[in-house]
Amino acid sequence: MYPMDFARQNTALTSTDRPRPSACIAGRFDVFFNKKGRCQKKGGIALVRTAKRTPLIHAGRAFVLALAAGLVLVGCMEWSRRNQERDRMGYVASAIGAETYEFMLSEMSKTRVLEAYLIQTSGDYSDFGRVAHVLLREDYVRNVLFAPDGIVDGVFPLEGNEDVVGLNMYGDGAGNLEAQAAIEKEALYIAGPFQLIQGGLGIAGRLPVFLTDEQGQRYFWGIVSVTLDFPAALSGSSVERVNAQGFACQIWRINPDDGQKQVILETADPLPEGVRTVDHAQELFNSVWTVSLAPLRPWYLQISLWLGVAVSLLVALLAAAGVYYAGRLRQLQLEKSQRAIQQLQEQLEREQGNMLLNQIRSHFFYHTLNALQALIVLKPEAAYKMAGDFARYLRFTLDSVTADGGIGSFREEIRAVRAYADINQQQLGDRLHMVYEIPDVDFPIPLLTIQPIVENAILHGIKPKVGGGTVSLKLEELPDHWQVTVTDDGVGFGLEAVREKGSIGLENVRRRIARFPGSELRITSTVGMGTQAVLTYGKRGKNMENLSKST
């Protein structure tokens, strides 16, 4: 309000405390001790409050980032593992295809022996029985046969294969399409597996034979064929050992008789349904056998994947714990530093309060004591009242300096204000008028926030004014705060005076009231017309509620 000349500061007002130039109109200006200023004074507390919320947030972020990084790494490792697995399956499939081709090449070459025999004998196979055993030494070789003009006439051995004699390879029947294609293409074709006429399943190689007559003309003689028992012929294949490597394998072809997929051979644990396979197409004598491989376990059931996820989760938890405890350590250090700063601030406020008491004008005591001395003789009752007021004023002021928490009763501070005003009325007489619009209520407020404002109004507003003036106090209850308005019609003060002078009294009031959320001090003044101070006390401030219980 008015700068107290007994408590001046050597420093000018900061840019935060100075009124804005736009508020200065016709000598009138406003001084706001608002929330912005409070934040600047309490930046350390705000920082600590923010720090209290950050360890868990930072730990959560660290957990998410570490887990994301771990999962990305696990994903890359799984991708690399799957690529390596596919490369390995491709190698195994090609090896099985090559093995199957070598086996079939060895067995189908017997058709070339039959062809050579016919060329040597000019198509006469009547004496072939003497050498047939050479081609029938393996148990899985079902028979070898001769089919002049495509009709089976000679079968070795005949026993067990009697039903084959007379078979017309130009007709409908399993394996006949390959025979007809062999004649057309003049190449060896492999047929099967298919159902044999004599029973069972078999794989047959069909080779057309062309001879040369006496005139040197080339003509079609017929077909020779070697039939292998199935699946005995393919027993011992590497397919049987694929399961042990963690894969499922299947050898299949498209059956030309019906256009459907025909499984030739597969592992004991078959391919899972709908699984993506690695395929190797193996050419076998104008037929295509496909070797398909797939993992027995899908990728999401791989132990390495879940082990990587578990390790990533553990690392993420450790990272989050490390960040959290590091944040907590910083938070505890901040709180410790803030407590030390707060203790120093409280000590500073106490010292400033003590200094304020020590700097009370000496003439206030002199005038009060002199007035008491005169009143004892002239008006004993007035002297008695003045002594009581003076004692009440000093007791409140001293108790306020040593009060715990800086919170007191509104009613007690108004009593001290009345005591101080009554003392000054005894001295100033009719030059000082006091007006109170205070209902009979009580609530906790920061100590020494109203009394210094009233004291400033009397000393620097009313006393310097010729003829004196009036100081009025008004209390209003609003939904979320209490509002105390102190108004005087004294001399007022100007912007330059505020800039050039400082006031420990007003600074203490501003600092005290700024410590409590929802509370503020606003001062307006016009030179020659007076000053108004509006003090707002929040009802819901956490500090006010806690300290209200203690009071």
Look up the CATH number of the domain holding residue 148. 3.30.450.20
The mean pLDDT of 160-171, rounded to a whole number, is: 88
Residues 311 and 240 both lie in one domain: yes
The pLDDT of 271-293, averaged and rounded, is: 91
Query: In the structure, what pLDDT confidence band is assigned to residue 502 with cuts at 50, 70 and 90?
Result: low
What's the pLDDT score for residue 299?
A: 82
pLDDT over 90 percentage in the chain: 39
Q: Indicate whether 13 belongs to any domain.
A: no
Q: Are residues 322 and 387 in the same domain?
A: no
Q: Is residue 241 part of a domain?
A: yes
Taking CA atoms, 451 is separated from 195, 355, 409, 411, 420, in Å, by 116, 17, 12, 12, 8
pLDDT for 42 equals 41
Last residue within a domain, chosen from 293, 316, 332: 332
Q: Is residue 478 part of a domain?
A: yes
Q: Rounded to whole angstroms, how far apart are CA atoms 145 and 151?
A: 10
Q: Does residue 345 belong to any structural domain of this protein?
A: no
Backbone Cα Rg of the chain: 55
Residues 6+ apart with CB under 8 A from 463: 428, 431
Same domain, 284 and 407: no
User: What would the two tokens of residue 377 be?
Assistant: 């003789």
Q: What is the mean pLDDT of residues 100-109?
A: 92
The pLDDT value recorded for residue 300 is 83
What was the pLDDT predicted at 190? 93
Does the structure show a pLDDT above 60 at 455? yes
Mean pLDDT of 84-106: 93
**Claim to verify: residue 126 and residue 184 sit in the same structural domain:** yes
Residues 361 and 363: their CA atoms lie apart, in Å, by: 5
Q: Is residue 274 situated within a structural domain?
A: yes
Whether residues 401 and 529 share a domain: the answer is yes
Report which of residues 117 and 50 the model is more confident about.
117
Q: Is residue 263 very low, low, confident or very high in pLDDT (cuts 50, 70, 90)?
A: very high
pLDDT for 51 beyond 90: no
**Span 241-256, average pLDDT:** 92
Q: Are residues 89 and 203 in the same domain?
A: yes
Give the pLDDT mean for 84-101.
Answer: 93
Instruction: Answer yes or no: is pLDDT of 349 > 80.
Output: no
pLDDT: which is higher, 259 or 517: 259
Question: 528 pLDDT band (50/70/90 cuts)?
Answer: confident
Q: What pLDDT score does 500 carry?
A: 63
What pLDDT does residue 425 have?
85
Residue 343 confidence (pLDDT) above 60 = yes
- Asked whether the predicted pLDDT for residue 49 surpasses 60, the reply is no
Does residue 449 fall inside a structural domain?
Answer: yes
Residue 361 has pLDDT above 90, yes or no: no
What is the predicted pLDDT for the residue at 368?
Answer: 73
DSSP letters, 97-113, are HHHHHHHHHHHHHHHHH
- pLDDT at res. 8: 35
Q: What is the mean pLDDT of residues 446-451?
A: 86
Answer with the residue of higher pLDDT: 51 or 322: 322
Q: Which long-range contacts (CB under 8 A, 24 or more apart) does 168-175 make?
A: 169/206, 169/223, 173/197, 174/257, 175/204, 175/206
Highest average pLDDT, of 124-128, 233-237, 438-442, comes from 438-442
172 located within any domain: yes
Q: Which residue has the higher pLDDT, 272 or 292?
A: 292
Cα separation, 453 vs 2, in Å, equals: 8
33 and 69 assigned to the same domain: no
Same domain as 413, residue 322: no
Question: 292 near 252, Cβ under 8 Å?
Answer: yes
Look at residue 448 in the predicted model and tell me its pLDDT. Answer: 83
Q: What band does 309 get if pLDDT is binned at 50, 70 and 90?
A: very high
CATH number assigned to the domain comprising residue 483:
3.30.565.10
Final residue in a domain of this structure, among 285, 312, 332? 332
Q: Which pLDDT does position 10 carry in this prediction?
A: 33
Q: Mapped to the 3 state alphabet, what secondary structure does 231-251 carry?
A: CHHHCCCHHHHCHHHCEEEEE
- Grouping H, G, I as helix, E, B as strand and the rest as coil, residue 472 is strand
**Residue 13's pLDDT band (boundaries 50, 70, 90)?**
very low
User: Are 18 and 37 in contact, with CB atoms under 8 Å apart?
Assistant: no
Which token pair is 534?
A: 């509006």
Q: Does position 495 have pLDDT exceeding 60, yes or no?
A: no
| Segment 351-376 mean pLDDT | 63
Looking at residue 7, its pLDDT comes to: 36
Quick check: is 6 in a domain? Answer: no
Average pLDDT (76-80) is 91
Cα–Cα distance, 122 to 211 (Å, whole number): 7
Looking at the 3D structure of the chain, how many domains does it have?
Answer: 2
> What confidence score (pLDDT) does residue 384 get?
76
If asked whether residues 380 and 322 sit together in one domain, one would say no
Q: Which domain holds residue 390?
A: 21-41+360-550
Confidence (pLDDT) at 21? 34
What would the mean pLDDT of 181-198 be, rounded to a whole number? 90
What mean pLDDT value characterizes the chain? 81
Identify whether residues 437 and 526 lie together within a single domain.
Answer: yes
More confident residue, 20 or 482: 482
Q: Which residue has the tokens 């700097």?
A: 359
3 state SS of 540: coil
- pLDDT of 6 strictly over 70: no
Residues 316 and 220 both lie in one domain: yes
Lowest mean pLDDT among 320-334, 387-401, 486-500, 526-540: 387-401
| 35 and 60 part of one domain | no
Edge-first strand order for the sheet with 247-254 is 261-266, 247-254, 288-295, 278-283
pLDDT-derived band at 98, boundaries 50, 70, 90: very high
**Ranges 40-49, 98-107, 253-262, 488-497: which has the least confidence:** 40-49
What percent of the chain shows pLDDT beyond 70?
Answer: 80
Provide the pLDDT for residue 130.
87
**ω before 231 within 30° of 0 (cis)?**
yes
pLDDT at 251 over 90: yes
